[in-house]
Structure 1
Amino acid sequence: MSERWTAEEAHTWFEAQPWHVGCNFTPSYAINQLEMWQPETFDLAIMERELRLASSIGMNSARVYLHDLLWMQDAQGFLERVDQFLSVADQQGIRIMLVLFDSCWDPEPCLGLQRAPRAGVHNSGWVQSPGVPVLHDHGQHGRLEAYVRGVVERFAADPRVFAWDIWNEPDNGPEVALCDPALLSAKADLVVPLMVAAFGWARECKPTQPLTSGIWLGDWSAPDLLSPIQRAQTSHSDIISFHNYGTAEDFVTRVRWLSAMGRPLLCTEFMARPAGSTFQAILPAAREHRVGTFCWGLVRGKTQTHLPWDNWSSPLPEVTKDAWFHDIFDETGTPYDAAEIEFLRMLSAV
């Protein structure tokens, strides 16, 4: 089995990179990862148009979610669609971080026609990968290994892919939303062995890109304060990634905490306008500390992530233009806030 990159190798890789500034990208037509990629709904023209918007404001990177069921459905067709997407992104000067697994939102994903968005609800159709039933079913873990190996091997030396995110927020999901210690522990017991195995499967494909999994909640100011799942994430990551939806002060505090690990940093999720996590607040701090950054969302669409998190289970009336939570443009390409666009273009020109 190949080894985790040394800190020196990670820094050598990072110093050869541009400052990564981008978004978490789901095209506006898709309610989730499955609708983005399934052959019946895959729409390269819309992706191209929306990635052009990202490029127009100086973004050079995007973080994009895959799903294990897409591999099970049609592995070769899935890889071909990913390849087509990477080509379109490359034409816009955007390199991609691919996310293999995700523990957020609906724990029982299904192939086929995806449900319509629930009116007034943030991310009402997003699905976990793998679903919780598969976490429990060790008989299906072999196909998860085939998925990881198949995707990573295909793109292991592809310059259009700059990093691999093995597992998004592995300790998240509605089944632990109440922070019940028993539920949190049960989820970790299921996820940690599979996540560590997934790091190993990916590493054995000898990718030229780094592997990571981002931590997102709690106090990271000392190693003994990390949860077992966070220790597994950070100890297997070549570069350290994290999520932060707080103020600039909170962002910088967490950067200082994580810098003690001695590895390059990526903030793979940020921007929650009402919480003070804005482009104008975060990006200057990120640039100063050379932390790559990825806001949540690009074009408002079926994910409805312009709505706030706290209405996921309690629908609220459609918010006005003045209250967007995530996302940058509406479906016509009109920006939510022209001042944000001017700021992003100015920052990319520096």
Structure 2
Amino acid sequence: MGCNYTPFNAINQLEMWQAETFDLTTIDKELALAESLGFNTLRVFLHDQLWVQDAEGFKNRIGQFLNIAQKHKIRPMLVLFDSCWDPFPQLGKQHEPVQGLHNSGWVQGPGADVLKDPAKQAYLEGYVKGIVSHFKNDDRILVWDVWNEPDNTNNSSYKTFEPTNKVELVTRLLPQVFAWTFSAEPSQPVTCGIWHGDCSSPEKLNPLQKIMVENSDIISFHNYDDAQEFEKRVKWLQVFGRPLLCTEYMSRGNKSTFQGSLSVAKKYKVAAYNWGFVAGKTNTIYPWDSWQKPYPTEPELWFHDIYRPGGDPYRAEEVALIRELTQANAKNDKNQRAPLQTRTKKRQKAAAQH
């Protein structure tokens, strides 16, 4: 169990990792808080432009982050690419949060300009291979997630700025990303999460989802609905016969709650990463509909996140529930650091060819 993690004082991946704003003190404090909940994993987003800016420095900072995570008995999942929110990422100082606007500064990677122009994509191979090969035998890392919601066209926010053929462009690029990842021969499993649509049988997968499932060592998915819908998705995905990780859930206003989703996850032995941890510059206490109606003040019902910046829980009963579940899991889990060994046939073939 864990969460999608960004420090409270970072508006996006760039602000989290750039040398000028990389804040080990805050990360240490917040990961101590995660450890106190019993979290043993976090999902953390990287960015391709950080590699271009300073590849060696970026790898060093990832290593420092992993040292702190290990100190707190946490093994992260690292995400290489992301198709959500602002399609025009910019290095350097990031803008301040927009009042009341959910994820007002989160950025995609690769950005739309790179996605639209194959001539600009050459560095992406170096980024993927460089990061994965550097950490390929590092057991501080639990999983690689190659691309978050690759076919998300951000209809409620940045739709008019997105490439009109974004899904086609991503469908063309994603197999290459998997191939680059596999060529680095990581010891950790690789995944790419299904986040929408009917996946009740292999025949109903769309072309991009087929690429995601066929190349993933383990199956990951998102579900921001109630417990009944969460359980339905789990049953759908069990058909693939691989470990299941829900890499995004928990949106209180959408009836996705710790109480509902975690009861199902425990029943079916599904790993669970809620969205958000310490409320801060990402503004994810505000709901998705804030893009249509920004909130002037803090909403009574938080959408995501668990803690206020000072470390006080938003809801003490949620924290108590999480601690109860993780303590039970710790007693039953005799080998929390065991690697996930499942391999897809395509990956085995790629390794043999390499």
- Same fold at TM > 0.5: yes
Residue 31 of structure 2 aligns with which residue? 51
**Contact 1:31–1:303 (8 Å) recurs in 2:** yes
Distance between the aligned counterparts of 1:45 and 1:228, measured in 2?
A: 44
Give yes or no for the alignment of 1:96 onto 2:76.
Answer: yes
Aligned length: 327
**Contact 1:106–1:173 (8 Å) recurs in 2:** no
Residue 347 of structure 2 aligns with which residue? none
Helix, strand or coil at the partner of 1:167: strand
Deviation string, structure 1 residues 241-266 (Cα, Å, up to 9, x no partner) = 00000111101100000001111110
Residue 125 of structure 2 aligns with which residue? 145
Residue 50 of structure 2 aligns with which residue? 70
Measured after TM superposition, the shift of residue 30 of structure 1 is 0.4
> What is the one-letter code of the residue matched to 1:330?
R
Helix, strand or coil at the partner of 2:19: coil
Residue 253 of structure 2 aligns with which residue? 274
Helix, strand or coil at the partner of 2:76: strand
> What is the one-letter code of the residue matched to 1:338?
A
**Contact 2:116–2:163 (8 Å) recurs in 1:** no
Task: Map 1:211-222 onto structure 2 (within 5 A).
Answer: 211-222=190-201
> What is the one-letter code of the residue matched to 1:114?
Q
> What is the one-letter code of the residue matched to 1:140?
K
Distance between the aligned counterparts of 1:179 and 1:113, measured in 2?
A: 25
Measured after TM superposition, the shift of residue 176 of structure 1 is 8.0
Residue 31 of structure 1 aligns with which residue? 11
Identity %: 51
Deviation string, structure 1 residues 204-243 (Cα, Å, up to 9, x no partner) = 1110111111011111112232222111111111111000
> What is the one-letter code of the residue matched to 1:326?
H
> What is the one-letter code of the residue matched to 2:36?
S
In the superposition, the TM-score normalised over structure 1's length comes to: 0.90
Give yes or no for the alignment of 1:327 onto 2:328.
Answer: no
> What is the one-letter code of the residue matched to 2:114?
V
Unaligned runs of 5+ in 1: 1-20
Distance between the aligned counterparts of 2:153 and 2:47, measured in 1?
A: 16
Residue 98 of structure 2 aligns with which residue? 118
**Contact 1:109–1:129 (8 Å) recurs in 2:** yes
> What is the one-letter code of the residue matched to 2:29?
R
Measured after TM superposition, the shift of residue 319 of structure 1 is 2.6
**Contact 1:171–1:184 (8 Å) recurs in 2:** no
Distance between the aligned counterparts of 2:155 and 2:263, measured in 1?
A: 36
Residue 64 of structure 2 aligns with which residue? 84
> What is the one-letter code of the residue matched to 1:64?
V
> What is the one-letter code of the residue matched to 1:101?
F
Residues 1:117 and 1:179: Cα distance change in structure 2 (over 3 Å): closer
Residues 1:232 and 1:256: Cα distance change in structure 2 (over 3 Å): same
Measured after TM superposition, the shift of residue 314 of structure 1 is 3.2
Give yes or no for the alignment of 1:264 onto 2:243.
Answer: yes
Measured after TM superposition, the shift of residue 187 of structure 1 is 1.0
Residue 343 of structure 2 aligns with which residue? none
> What is the one-letter code of the residue matched to 1:281?
G
Distance between the aligned counterparts of 1:74 and 1:235, measured in 2?
A: 33
Give yes or no for the alignment of 1:315 onto 2:283.
Answer: no
> What is the one-letter code of the residue matched to 1:165?
D
Give yes or no for the alignment of 1:207 onto 2:186.
Answer: yes
**Contact 1:26–1:32 (8 Å) recurs in 2:** yes
> What is the one-letter code of the residue matched to 2:277?
L
Distance between the aligned counterparts of 1:56 and 1:38, measured in 2?
A: 27
Distance between the aligned counterparts of 1:149 and 1:271, measured in 2?
A: 33
Helix, strand or coil at the partner of 1:109: coil
**Contact 1:248–1:281 (8 Å) recurs in 2:** yes
**Contact 2:112–2:163 (8 Å) recurs in 1:** no
Distance between the aligned counterparts of 1:138 and 1:116, measured in 2?
A: 32
Deviation string, structure 1 residues 39-92 (Cα, Å, up to 9, x no partner) = 011001001101111110111100000000000000000000000001001100
Distance between the aligned counterparts of 2:79 and 2:240, measured in 1?
A: 23
Distance between the aligned counterparts of 2:50 and 2:66, measured in 1?
A: 17
Deviation string, structure 1 residues 164-219 (Cα, Å, up to 9, x no partner) = 00000001133686999xx8971111111211101110101110111111011111
Residue 262 of structure 2 aligns with which residue? 283
Residue 9 of structure 1 aligns with which residue? none
Distance between the aligned counterparts of 1:42 and 1:239, measured in 2?
A: 31
Helix, strand or coil at the partner of 1:99: strand
Measured after TM superposition, the shift of residue 349 of structure 1 is 1.6
Distance between the aligned counterparts of 1:119 and 1:176, measured in 2?
A: 18
> What is the one-letter code of the residue matched to 2:275?
W
RMSD, aligned CA = 1.6
Out of 163, 167, 173, the residue aligned to residue 147 of structure 2 is 167
Residue 109 of structure 1 aligns with which residue? 89
